Amino acid sequence: MALKIGTKAPEFELPSTSGDTFVSREMHGKRWVLYFYPKDFTPGCTKEACSFRDEFAELRQTDIPVFGVSRDSIESHLQFKAKHSLPFELLADVSGEVAKLYDARMPIIGVTKRITYLIDGDGFVAGVHDELFGDKSHVASMLKAIR
What residue segments make up the domains of the chain, in order of their start? 30-146
Predicted structure pTM score: 0.89
pLDDT value, residue 139: 64
Residues 6+ apart with CB under 8 A from 58: 143
Q: Running DSSP on this structure, what letter comes out for residue 8? A: B
pLDDT per residue as tens digits for the range 27-40? 999 999 999 999 99
Q: Which residues of the chain have pLDDT under 70?
A: 131-147
Question: Looking at the annotation, which residues are catalytic?
Answer: 45
SS (H, E, C) 106-129: CCCCCCECCEEEEECCCCEEEEEE
CA–CA separation, 96 and 27 (whole Å):
21
pLDDT value, residue 1: 74
Out of 3.10.180.10, 3.40.30.10, 3.30.1050.10, 1.10.10.60, which CATH number does the structure's domain 30-146 have? 3.40.30.10
CA–CA separation, 51 and 49 (whole Å):
5
Question: What's phi and psi for 27, nearest 5 deg?
Answer: -90, -5
